[in-house]
Amino acid sequence: METIMAFVVGALFAASIYMMLRRSIVKLVIGLILLSNAANLLIFTVSGLTRGLPPLIPEGSSLPAGGWADPLPQALVLTAIVIGFGVLAFAVVLIHRAYEVINEDDLDKMRSTDT
C-alpha cells in the first residue's frame, strides 16, 4: 500500500502546486490547503503503514497488544494538522481581506510592492 500511497501523495503535491500557480488568490489558498494535506500524508506514509493496530494500550497491559503502528509520526502529523489549520485559517481570511482592500482576485494585479 505504501507504493500506492506514494503515488497518491505525489498526485496531491502536483495538484496543489498546479493550484498555487493559478492567478486567482482563491486557488492559491486551496493549493496551500492541499499542500498541507499532502505533506501530512507523506509523513504518515514514509514511516510505514500498519493496518488495525492503533497505538493504544489495553487495560491491564503495559504494551499495545500484538504490535503497534508507530505512534510518533501520528503525533507529528497531529501537530502538523493543527498548525496547518491555524495557518490556513489565517491565509483564508487574508485573501478575503486582500480582496476587499485591493478589489482584485488576480495575483498578476498585485505587483505594486515588487516593482
Closest distance between another protein and the C-beta of residue 14, in Å?
3
Closest of 90, 42, 12, 8 to residue 20, by C-alpha: 12
Residues in the chain: 115
Closest distance between another protein and the C-beta of residue 16, in Å?
8
Q: Residue 9, class by beta-carbon neighbours within 10 Å (0-12 exposed, 13-18 middle, 19+ buried)? A: buried
Closest distance between another protein and the C-beta of residue 49, in Å?
5
Q: What is the CA radius of gyration of the chain?
A: 19
Rounded to whole angstroms, the Cα distance separating 12 from 9 reads: 5
Closest distance between another protein and the C-beta of residue 52, in Å?
6
Instruction: Please check whether residue 45 is in contact with residue 2, taking contact to mean a CB–CB distance below 8 angstroms.
Output: yes
